[in-house]
Amino acid sequence: MTGEMLYFEFHEGGTYRMRLTYMDQQAGQGKTTETSDEMEVRLTRLEPSHRIEQNVVFESDDPAFAGIKRMVWTFEPEGSGALVTVRTENVPAGIKSEDHEAAMKSTLDNLAAFVEHDD
């Protein structure tokens, strides 16, 4: 997938909107369109360098993707880096648990590659 930020207001109570587009373009895999997912996210709690809580709403006509998914990111010092943990609640029923787990792992792997990159 590729991600595009459509807008971004990073402060407690702020929102952002993101579009994720599937790279392999298989029809029917998106929640918003055949090939993409769009979500509106509200930042409900921010503790700098420690915690980000957010509520995620997917744009979809399919009731299987309705509701508010809650995500809590925590950051704890570990050695010379940080342990990042993501906990989710109320994942819409239309998202298979193995797909959701793979997406969260990919997100964390991409974050690690970004912050660990040596110039």
Looking at residue 67, what is its pLDDT? 92
Element (H, E) at 107: helix 97-115
Residue-averaged pLDDT of the chain: 89
pLDDT tens digits for 37-67? 889 999 999 999 999 999 999 998 889 889 9
Distances (CA, A) of 16 to 23, 46, 55: 22, 14, 11
Cβ of 89: how many Cβ atoms within 10 Å?
10
Mean pLDDT of 20-45: 80
Alpha carbons 50 and 102: distance in angstroms, whole number: 24
Beta strands 15-21 and 36-47 are antiparallel
Q: For residue 70, give its domain range.
A: 2-115
pLDDT at position 45 is 98
Q: Kindly report the pTM of this predicted structure.
A: 0.82
- Count of the separate structural domains present in the chain: 1
Instruction: Give the residue with greater pLDDT, 47 vs 116.
Output: 47
- Residue 35 pLDDT more than 80? no
Read off the CATH number of the domain in which 63 is found. Answer: 3.30.530.20
Note the pLDDT of residue 69.
96
User: From residue 51, how far is each of 11, 48, 59, 95 by CA, in Å?
Assistant: 13, 7, 25, 25
